[in-house]
Amino acid sequence: EKQEEVSKQSSQHPKPAGLVLQYGTAGFRTNAKHLDHIMFRMGLLATLRSKKTKATIGVMVTASHNPEEDNGVKLIDPMGEMVTPAWEGYATQLANAEQGDLLTALKDIIEKESINMSQEANVFVGKDTRSSSASLSQAVLDGVSALGGHSKDYGLVTTPQLHYMVCCQNTQGKYGEATIEGYYRKLCQAFIQLTKNASNCTDDQKHLSVDGANGIGALKVREMESHLRRELQISLFNDGSKGKLNHQCGADFVKVQQKPPTGININPGERCCSFDGDADRIVYYYTDSDGQFHLLDGDKIATLISTFLKELLTQAGLDLKIAVVQTAYANGSSTHYLEDTMKVIVRCTKTGVKHLHHAAQEFDIGVYFEANGHGTVLFSKVAEEKIQQLAEDPNMNDERKRAARLLQNTINVINQTVGDAISDMLLIEAILAIRGMTVQQWDAIYSDLPNRQLKVKVSDRRVIDTTDAERRAVSPAGLQEAIDTLVKKHRLARSFVRPSGTEDVVRVYAEAETQESADSLAHEVSLAVYRLAGGVGDEPKPL
């Protein structure tokens, strides 16, 4: 009878014949008008995944940093992490099965995974503020009910909030309470405990300007504010009341354009940050008295956090292995600083938090950040236990105990399930307050190499294949050789290209000793991509 129900319901969410979509860096993502059938089918898939794991699964409807007219879906596994790669394959099969083949595709997954269809299923659903998100999340709920699964609709939430709920639910509350209030309470209590360790913090230092990207993050910051008890005083800009989502604002705009968002009042020297459209990324910045813009991206955030943690570990006398995980986009200066000055282990993975998250799990403490501001910190079970033992040891001296308690509250302010702009913001604000550090002092830890990111349109971006954590292109023929030759013409230079997994473009990254050099290298490499990988439209122009 379930078959009939699926057939009946799926005819309400038909797949346009011939449409093929790939599971990208963080799920399916494209213009919202192509996504109704995808959402219904991801509801089906999440239900199967829930039956298979005997746990609650999450489905988030969002296209994060993409423009308002796009949408997408992110699938969340039991511990709050991104869905496991094997199931990304099933997601693609199910998404692309023609209408008449849907039941067969579904049965194929059930058989391959030996899923017990009489097992109960639970799916948590959330959505961002896009105008298309309401009907698309309804399509997900329809998919869940077609297979007889239970669902809970959290409505408007940030992506990391939904990840958090899933983890709380599946740990029977050990990670926290699976409610929005519970989330604010846990994070804000930890933040307030941490800031008690800051001496003489003035109101000026407690002030932060936040660019909400006209998205869900803005709504949630507003909701959280009262829990902060003025220990953090936020001026919120781009709160969605007039501007368009991610348009000339938000973390992706600020990072890629290397300039402040529109819609924010920025006074020289003042600390500001920007969220992205689903509040899983954050970048900081300020302008100096000469009006020059200074960006503190994911690399600077990783450095600040890992320095803080390393100091606490030393004070606590704990021997735990700490590492920082980055991607090819990490500024060369950050990698040098982390390896040579801070002497921490640095790993490089492919783009996509799922890869960084996985690599970070190999260490006692894994700090992972993409340069675009997506990241968090993972603590192993052993690390958490050792910290707790120390904090509770009656024979321990005060300094070690204080450090252990700071580590405990640090763990509690962090959302370990995924990068979380709100949680990262609270952690960064607490660290700056405790260390009595200004944003300028933080910025001065190391100087970024000038860099440039560009996009190139090609007819099929899949012609580009990469290796070595995306740092080298293996196809099309001749492209890597061309890049190597161009890089040699510049000092301290590095460049790579990769197909985006969220937009229909090829991304180009270049860094070099001067901005002029980075700009011209990025342009030259863009031209090579355009010529060798089937560029469409006008040839890339110099900056």
Q: Which residues bind ligand G16 (CB under 6 A)?
A: 25-26, 64-65, 276, 280-281, 351-353, 370, 372, 374, 500-503, 507
Residue among 280 and 299 whose Cβ is closer to ligand G16: 280
Q: What is the helix (H) or strand (E) element at residue 384, kind and residue range?
A: helix 381-392
Residue 510 annotated as binding site: no
Nearest-approach distance from CB 541 to ligand G16, in angstroms: 22
Residue among 386 and 498 whose Cβ is closer to ligand G16: 498
Nearest-approach distance from CB 29 to ligand G16, in angstroms: 8
In whole angstroms, give the CA distance from residue 356 to residue 513: 28
Nearest-approach distance from CB 469 to ligand G16, in angstroms: 13
Both tokens of 314, joined, read 């030393």
132: annotated active-site residue: no
Cis peptide before 78 (omega within 30 of 0): no
510 DSSP β-pair partners? 452, 495
In whole angstroms, give the CA distance from residue 523 to residue 540: 7
Residue among 149 and 240 whose Cβ is closer to ligand G16: 240
In whole angstroms, give the CA distance from residue 343 to residue 400: 22
Q: Which among 64, 132, 333, 334 is annotated as catalytic?
A: 64
Residue 312 gets which letter from DSSP?
Answer: H
Nearest-approach distance from CB 65 to ligand G16, in angstroms: 4
Query: Residue 102: CA atoms inside 13 Å, Cβ hemisphere, count?
Result: 26
Residue 500 annotated as binding site: yes
Strands 465-467 and 472-475: antiparallel
Residue 11 annotated as binding site: no
Kindly tell me the number of DSSP H helices and DSSP E strands found in the chain.
18, 19
Residue among 353 and 458 whose Cβ is closer to ligand G16: 353
Spatial neighbors of 169 by CB under 8 A, at least 6 apart, are 56, 122, 124, 178
The whole-angstrom distance between residue 285's C-alpha and the CA centroid of its chain comes to 18
In whole angstroms, give the CA distance from residue 492 to residue 521: 12
Backbone angles phi, psi at 417, to 5 degrees: -75, -30
Residue 69 annotated as binding site: no
Spell 141-156 as b/e; 16+ CB within 10 A means b: bbbbbbbbbebbebeb
Residue 502 annotated as binding site: yes
Residue among 192 and 483 whose Cβ is closer to ligand G16: 483
Residue 450 annotated as binding site: no
Residue among 332 and 501 whose Cβ is closer to ligand G16: 501
Nearest-approach distance from CB 85 to ligand G16, in angstroms: 14
Nearest-approach distance from CB 396 to ligand G16, in angstroms: 40
DSSP readout, 212-224? -TTSHHHHHHHHH
Residue 122 annotated as binding site: no
In whole angstroms, give the CA distance from residue 229 to residue 189: 10
Indicate the annotated binding residues for Mg(2+).
64, 276, 278, 280
Sequence ranges of the binding site for substrate = 370-372, 498-502, 507
Give the residue ranges of the annotated binding site. 64, 276, 278, 280, 370-372, 498-502, 507
Point out the residues that are catalytic: 64
